[in-house]
């Protein structure tokens, strides 16, 4: 208790020096929590968006289909049979047919992926109801990124070309019935969504699909030869990206923390050098050397407690503001599942771990220079002799 | 309509229609004889008209029938040393800058060859027209001041890339002067204009071909044959993947 009282009196007595250290360390707190909170917020939003727009409860892939390898698209389709039609009927699965094609917006040539999806589906947020229309027209929905790249607006007609199941070229105009805004680029960039039955008719692939999006209630035990890809597999890319970002961020946070800790270390060295008489007096009054080491260690570590309080004073209002208003980065075209506005998420775990790490690190850097006290001769210390 | 007129119409349909069909087949056969050979070696320039400037790519090609071909790009310096090998339905490209050979497949086949109006899959068409299409003579027209037969070719196999073609064939030299390629929906996809027809080794051969992707803006791509020799001795190793790295 006496250590804490002394630490408090010494730190407040040191004035500006203490407050400079505390301010720098409080920045470290705020930046670490802000950055980790931002990454956690991105992860949560990304997973939610992926689930709502693309993944749902998982996917069933044709054995030849690999979404990362467009070369597989041509042959990756199979007849919807076995138990699958039952799943489709009971809304547990939504068939999707994937076909490569070419769009010719304003006389330009652009490679596209045509995706056929059931107009009545509600498993993913895609506005597939807009695909319904008169039979003579091919209604299509595209994302905002795709609309930007095609320079297309709602109500425009775009000429597309594709090959049917036998390889024969065919071409027709599609009508842009709706442009949706979504943060999942894999349902937007390069994709044109058309009615499933229309695409089956266009390609001659009647009653065939490339994959199925399935609901959470779907049980993966019976896949009828289709490969079940669970949600964790389909979101793996985002998880890995987040891990990489977290790792990169930790380097920067580490550098900031090291700078703050160096300031504490420096202050400790200077204190021990300038307060030798005080150290000698403590020992002369009957304190053991290690009790004196303890006083100085607690004094150094108390910087981190003060910093936590100061950081909380300006950090908490800032974090609350960002939690509700988010940070807008603009619409990303980098192919990342990244929302236009990110809302940081601060978990209790994040805050506790951050405070613990900073306090422990500050205690260690305070203890290291204080070890010198244990080697001091009390008589020389009382005289203020350099040791 | 009286009986005489009906008989006349019947006579016309029964006699003239097969005559037209037979003529179309003969024309196609004579066109094939002009254009196809066991093998050929030619040097060519491909003029690609871009939005801002034009580019010319020169190359030397060795071709055996329709199935095998080997092309080495000679200029510009950026493309120099790039080689392309086509064997049946497979296509490889060797790039000297990366010293890598890659197979062109899937969506890459839809990409343009060096920015031209030709895609790699256009280069993969390797069957004789007579194997794929039924030809019908639909009439005669004058094109580029030459009298030409107008043939309408309709796919007789399901895997033809273009469901319908329209071809204007020089009535005297039996060389195509213009061709239009149509999608199943009837949409015109590509137009090819052939000109500067020369007599080479006893056959008429067009030495300038302008390809135009009709869905795309632009002036198209000119393909000019600067030197061609038929029925040459081409060593077998030319048509191997090993030749790409030589």
* Helix A289-325 with A16-50: angle, nearest 10 deg: 40
Q: Residue A16: what pLDDT?
A: 81
- The string over A313-324, giving b where at least 16 C-beta atoms fall within 10 Å of a residue's C-beta and e elsewhere, is eebeeebeebee
Average pLDDT over residues B49-58: 86
Q: Nearest by CB to A74, which of B106, B163, B189?
A: B106
Residues in chain A closer than 8 A to B187 (CB atoms): 159, 161, 170-172
Q: Residue A331: what pLDDT?
A: 59
**Per-residue pLDDT tens digits for B195-244:** 999 998 888 999 999 999 898 888 889 999 999 998 888 888 999 988 88
CB pairs under 8 A between A and B: 72
**Per-residue pLDDT tens digits for A4-51:** 777 777 777 777 877 888 888 888 889 889 988 988 888 999 899 999
pLDDT band at B67 (very low <50, low <70, confident <90, very high): confident
Mean of per-residue pLDDT scores for chain B: 83
Rounded CA-CA distance A148/A355 in Å is 45
pTM, 2 dp: 0.77
Q: Which helix (H) or strand (E) holds B45?
A: strand B39-49
pLDDT band at B166 (very low <50, low <70, confident <90, very high): very high
Rounded CA-CA distance A64/A183 in Å is 28
Q: Residue A305: what pLDDT?
A: 87
How many helices (DSSP H) and strands (DSSP E) are in chain A? Answer: 11, 13
Cβ(B227)–Cβ(B198) under 8 Å? no
Q: Which of A275, A231, A216 has its CA nearest to residue A50?
A: A231
ipTM surpassing 0.85: no
- Is residue A169 within 8 angstroms of chain B, CB to CB? yes
Phi-psi region at B144: left, alpha or beta (left = phi > 0; alpha = psi -120 to 50): left
SS3 of chain A: helix, strand, coil, percent, to 5: 55, 20, 30
Cβ(B150)–Cβ(B136) under 8 Å? no
| A1's tokens | 């208790």
Three-state SS at A315 = helix
Q: How far is B39 from chain A (nearest CA, A)?
A: 27
Cβ(A323)–Cβ(A377) under 8 Å? no
SS3 of chain B: helix, strand, coil, percent, to 5: 20, 50, 30
Three-state SS at B44 = strand
**Among all residues of chain B, which has the CA nearest to that of A162?**
B183
Q: Which CATH superfamily is domain B3-35+127-215 in?
A: Lipoprotein localisation LolA/LolB/LppX (2.50.20.10)
Cβ(B192)–Cβ(B210) under 8 Å? yes
The residue of A110, A113, A171, A191 whose CB has the most chain B CBs within 10 angstroms, and thus the best one to mutate to test that interface, is A171
Residue contact A107–B111, C-beta within 8 A: no
Angle in degrees, CA B94, B100, B103, rounded to 5: 60
Q: Residue A252: what pLDDT?
A: 83
Residues 99-118 on B with a CB inside 8 Å of A are 105-108, 110-112
Cβ(A387)–Cβ(A276) under 8 Å? yes
**Among all residues of chain A, which has the CA nearest to that of B124?**
A167
Residues 78-107 on A with a CB inside 8 Å of B are 100, 102, 104, 106-107
Rounded CA-CA distance A340/B15 in Å is 72
User: Please, is A155 exposed, middle or buried when counting C-beta atoms within 10 Å of its C-beta (0-12, 13-18, 19+)?
Assistant: exposed
Q: Give the phi and the psi of residue A103 in degrees, each rounded to 5.
A: -105, 150
* Sequence-distant (≥ 6) Cβ neighbours of residue B172 within 8 angstroms: B146, B147
**Per-residue pLDDT tens digits for B110-160:** 677 877 887 777 766 667 788 888 999 999 999 989 999 999 999 998 888
Q: Provide block-wise average pLDDT over 10 residues at a time, chain A (387 residues).
A: 74 78 86 89 90 91 88 86 86 92 88 92 91 84 93 94 88 94 89 94 93 87 83 90 85 85 83 80 80 83 86 91 85 67 86 89 85 73 66
Q: Nearest by CB to B106, which of A70, A107, A161?
A: A70
Q: Is the dihedral of CA B93, B95, B101, B106 positive or negative?
A: negative
DSSP code of residue B119: B
Q: Residue B59: what pLDDT?
A: 92
- Is residue B218 within 8 angstroms of chain A, CB to CB? yes
pLDDT band at B13 (very low <50, low <70, confident <90, very high): very low
């Amino acid at each position: 208790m006496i250590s804490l009282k002394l630490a408090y009196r010494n730190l407040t007595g040191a004035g500006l020096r203490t407050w400079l250290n505390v301010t720098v360390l409080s920045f470290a707190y705020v930046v670490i929590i802000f950055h980790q909170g931002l990454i956690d917020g991105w992860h949560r939003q990304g997973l939610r968006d992926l689930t709502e727009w693309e993944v749902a409860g998982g996917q069933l892939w044709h054995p030849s289909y690999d979404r990362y390898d467009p070369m597989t698209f041509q042959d990756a389709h199979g007849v919807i049979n076995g138990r699958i039609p039952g799943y489709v009927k009971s809304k547990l699965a939504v068939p999707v047919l994937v076909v490569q094609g070419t769009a010719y917006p304003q006389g330009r040539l652009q490679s596209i992926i045509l995706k056929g999806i059931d107009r009545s589906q509600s498993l993913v947020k895609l506005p597939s109801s807009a695909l319904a229309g008169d039979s003579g027209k091919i209604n299509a929905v595209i994302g905002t990124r795709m609309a930007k790249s095609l320079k297309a607006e709602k109500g425009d007609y775009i000429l597309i070309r594709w090959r049917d199941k036998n390889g024969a070229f065919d071409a027709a105009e599609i009508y842009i019935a709706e442009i949706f805004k979504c943060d999942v680029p894999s349902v937007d960039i390069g994709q044109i969504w058309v009615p499933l039955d229309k695409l089956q008719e266009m390609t001659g692939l009647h009653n065939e699909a490339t994959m199925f999006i399935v609901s959470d209630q779907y049980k993966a035990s019976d896949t009828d030869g289709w490969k079940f890809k669970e949600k964790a597999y389909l979101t793996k890319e985002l998880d890995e990206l987040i891990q990489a970002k977290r790792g990169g961020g930790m380097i920067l946070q580490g550098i900031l923390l090291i700078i703050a800790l160096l300031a504490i270390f420096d202050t400790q060295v200077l204190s021990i050098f300038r307060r030798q008489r005080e150290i000698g007096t403590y020992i002369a009054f009957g304190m053991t050397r290690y009790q004196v080491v303890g006083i100085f260690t607690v004094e150094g570590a108390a910087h981190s407690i003060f910093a936590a309080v100061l950081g909380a004073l300006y950090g908490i209002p800032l974090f609350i503001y960002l939690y509700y208003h988010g940070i807008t980065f603009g619409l990303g075209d980098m192919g990342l599942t990244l929302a236009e506005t990110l809302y940081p998420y601060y978990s209790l775990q994040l805050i506790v771990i951050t405070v613990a790490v900073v306090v422990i690190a500050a205690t260690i850097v305070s203890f290291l220079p204080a070890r010198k006290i244990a080697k001091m001769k009390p008589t020389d210390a009382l005289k203020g002799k350099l040791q | 309509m009286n009986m005489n007129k009906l008989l006349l119409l019947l006579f016309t349909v029964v006699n003239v229609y097969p005559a037209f069909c037979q003529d179309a087949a003969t024309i196609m056969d004579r066109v094939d004889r002009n254009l196809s050979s066991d093998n050929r070696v030619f040097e060519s320039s491909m003029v690609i008209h871009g939005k801002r400037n034009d580019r010319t790519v020169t190359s030397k090609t060795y071709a055996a029938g329709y199935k095998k071909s080997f092309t080495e790009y000679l200029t510009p310096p950026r493309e120099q040393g790039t080689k392309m090998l086509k064997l049946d339905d497979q296509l490889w490209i060797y790039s000297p800058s990366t010293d890598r050979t890659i197979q062109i497949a899937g969506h890459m086949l839809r990409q343009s060859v060096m920015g031209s109006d030709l895609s790699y899959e256009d280069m993969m068409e390797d069957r004789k027209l007579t194997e794929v299409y039924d030809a019908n003579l639909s009439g005669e027209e004058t094109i580029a001041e030459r009298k030409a037969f107008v043939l309408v070719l309709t796919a007789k196999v399901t895997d033809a890339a273009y469901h319908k073609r329209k071809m204007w064939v020089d009535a005297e030299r039996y060389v195509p002067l213009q061709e239009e390629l149509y999608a199943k929906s009837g949409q015109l996809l590509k137009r090819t204009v052939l000109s500067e027809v020369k007599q080479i080794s006893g056959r008429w051969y067009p030495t300038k071909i302008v390809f135009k992707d009709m869905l795309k803006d632009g002036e198209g791509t000119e393909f000019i044959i600067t030197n061609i020799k038929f029925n040459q001795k081409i060593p077998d190793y030319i048509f191997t993947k090993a030749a790409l790295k030589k």
